[in-house]
Amino acid sequence: MKKTEKITPARLPEKARKISDAFKAASGKKVDLFVYGTLMHDNYVKLLINRKPESIPAKLSNYIRIAPPWSFPFIVKHYGAVTYGRILKNLTRDEIKILDEFEKEGVLYNRQTVIARTKESRQRCLTYMGNISALQHSFGKDLRFENRYRVFIQKKIDDVVKEISDDKNEMTHRLMHELSSSAIDEIIQSHFDGNYICSYIMIQALQDAKPPKLLKVLENKELLPYAGNYMRLASQHIILNQFVEKIRADHPEAVWLSEQYFRHGLAILVAFILYNRRAAEINILLKEYSLDNIVPDRRYREYAKLAIDISDKIYSSAETEEIVKFVESNWYSTPTPLGAELEFSYLGKNAVNSRPGQDPVYDGFYWFKDFDMYHRTWRLGGHVDSHREITMSQERHRGFLEYALGRYNIVGDLSRPLFDCPWGMSILINEAVKFLDIPPHSLHISMALPKGEKSFITDRPHNEDDLACLMMLGGDIRPDPNGTLRAIRIYDRELETSQTVSINFSDRKYHFAKHDQDRSEASEVMEYKYMRLLKDWTDYECIIVTLKGYQLATKCRPLKGSPENGKELPEQAFLKKWAEKPIPVSENSIIKFIETVEKGIILENNTKKLDDRKQKIMQRIQDALIKKNEYIQKFYEK
């Protein structure tokens, strides 16, 4: 009897071999996956598994794709239906495990084997089927990929935090998360930027973010008079940080901002409002828990734990919901992204040249780093501004406490705009002043200008009456100690340093969001630096809208401290002279200035006429100018 010849896969007919390979594709070391929703986007897949796998178009018969408003897409069996998608080829088992975690396999989705059809043949592969009841309960507020991806990365980080913690207690876990939150945020941002970070590097980053050994810090007798104040300041920021975390978890959709903006910005605004509403109760608890003084043998972690406990006692879901609705009802977006820098000091303009002990509360923030305040204030871009170049290697220096809102990496000078709503920025500035309760000093407002062939910053000189109008809106015009009317910030030379030729009124800057960006990718920003930050509630919305409209309409040059030609510009000389003796402008000059600002806002919004809200803002600007102009006139008539 003739022996039957064994047919190997290599000797199979081509079509039969393809079918054989296809049916093995879901059972070997590498598998294929049919995707039909979020995972059809290559950039999303790369964020999850750190590569873009080969993929081919495919369709799945007798399954219907459903994309309700309350959920991500899912598929269910439906005879006669067809779902179109793609097959991701040759995924490893480890990669499937990552995707299982992202899709919450076994809870929100069930991974099953199906037969899809490609252009050439039938293909056995895996896919995710929706668990409809679980999806209905789980989604509704986490519909964006960014939100789900953040939760996915956060879980990975939480697992690492638990791995390096000896104590598995939930409070200990929260404590480590709070004290390492700046490092955690950098890890999350790195993943969003496409830079995958392995668990080993995560562990190193989190261990490097450990808080100081307070007992060791307190061995330095020079800082003891200020230590209680620093621990109270740290505790305040921990409470605020906890509010931000809770708000982002409870209201992810309401406080979501696109990748262009600093993703914590809107949650920070809501957290500030909540904190200040409950400030009286918080202050009582800070004192009751002795977080405003040094308790013998109490560690830094114990201070942080007590601050977290206060945040839990104070936080109210119902009150937060009310604040969120208040913000939503007043919010309006504009095409111009905004940023702000706020300076605070007990010493005013003398902060950068202060002597040891001159500031009785914080010693000019000289001990800021010793008490780990960079890590406590990172969401607010907190640092000590000595009006010199910032370096972390320089352990200590005296200066202003500055909130550089949206600046999430001080040393690397990385920042994103906070958001684009002038009303929201005004509220946040006022709430920050109220929260900190340190004498406010100065305010910088920055705006990212539209990109195009022509810049909105040119060499065009400013009109002097226009500059006078800008000064009347934010230039701190009041009598000096001798009763003489001045524009105090310029007259007192607060806008000058030993390195500048003249006043630093405004400046063109380039803001980078990532380390590897060059200037062509950066945002071109105009920053106005002349405003006084005030203790009393102030309508900064009008100032912000004015600056935007003025710059967009005039495209005037920056008036920076060190002009490129090394000589003082005529406008700078004018401002110094005007600051010495403010002079009212004519009614016609105010009308022309308002027309200029309105022209710029019309240009910004690409419209022929401003809507009612913006027209009312323009009227408020005009009223404020007329009022200040009359104040100057009447001052000299006394």
Closest listed residue to residue 625, CA positions, set 467, 470, 462, 443: 470
The amino acid sitting at 540 is: Y
Closest listed residue to residue 578, CA positions, set 487, 469, 496: 487
Residue 518 CB neighbour total at 10 angstroms? 8
- The 3-class SS string of 204-220 reads HHHHHCCCCCHHHHCCC
Closest listed residue to residue 605, CA positions, set 344, 422, 393: 422
Q: Mean pLDDT in each 10-residue stretch from start to end of the chain (638 residues)?
A: 46 50 58 91 85 93 78 81 92 92 86 92 91 63 59 72 68 80 72 59 67 92 96 98 94 83 92 98 98 95 96 96 96 94 96 93 96 93 81 74 79 73 98 96 94 85 97 95 96 83 88 60 86 96 97 95 79 96 96 97 94 96 97 90
**Percent of the chain as helix, strand, coil, to the nearest 5:** 45, 20, 35
At residue 197, the pLDDT reads 57
**CA 314 centroid distance within chain:** 24
Strand partners, 341: 404, 444
At residue 19, the pLDDT reads 47
Neighbour-count burial of 438, counting CB atoms closer than 10 A to its CB (0-12 exposed, 13-18 middle, 19+ buried): middle
The amino acid sitting at 318 is: A
At residue 612, the pLDDT reads 95
120 in catalytic set: no
Sign of CA dihedral 237, 243, 248, 253: negative
Q: Is 570 left (phi over 0), alpha (psi -120 to 50) or beta?
A: alpha
* H or E element, residue 436: helix 422-436
For residues 186 and 190, give the distance between their C-alpha atoms in angstroms, rounded to a whole number: 6
At residue 3, the pLDDT reads 45
Beta strands across the sheet bearing 400-405: 382-385, 400-405, 338-344, 440-448, 523-532, 506-511
Paired tokens of 283: 């202050």
Closest listed residue to residue 448, CA positions, set 595, 538, 340, 542: 340
How many Cα atoms are found within 13 Å in the side-chain-facing hemisphere of 193?
A: 13
Q: b/e map of 296-310 (b: 16 or more CB within 10 Å)?
A: eebebbebbbbbbeb
CATH 3.10.490.10 in the chain is located at 9-140
Q: b/e map of 76-95 (b: 16 or more CB within 10 Å)?
A: eeeeeeebebbbbbebeeeb
pLDDT tens-digit series, residues 338-354: 999 999 999 999 998 89
At residue 9, the pLDDT reads 45
Closest listed residue to residue 624, CA positions, set 552, 554, 545: 545
For residues 35 and 57, give the distance between their C-alpha atoms in angstroms, rounded to a whole number: 10
Q: Which of 103, 494, 527, 571 is catalytic?
A: 103
Strand partners, 446: 339, 527
Sign of CA dihedral 139, 141, 143, 149: negative
What DSSP designation does 196 have?
Answer: -
Dump the DSSP string for 63-112.
EEEE--TTS--EEEEEEEEEEEEEEEEEEEHHHHHHHHHHHTBTTTEEEE
Can you give the pTM of this predicted structure?
A: 0.79
Residue 261 CB neighbour total at 10 angstroms? 20
Backbone angles phi, psi at 401, to 5 degrees: -80, 120
Q: Please name the CATH architecture into which domain 9-140 falls.
A: Roll (3.10)
At residue 173, the pLDDT reads 76
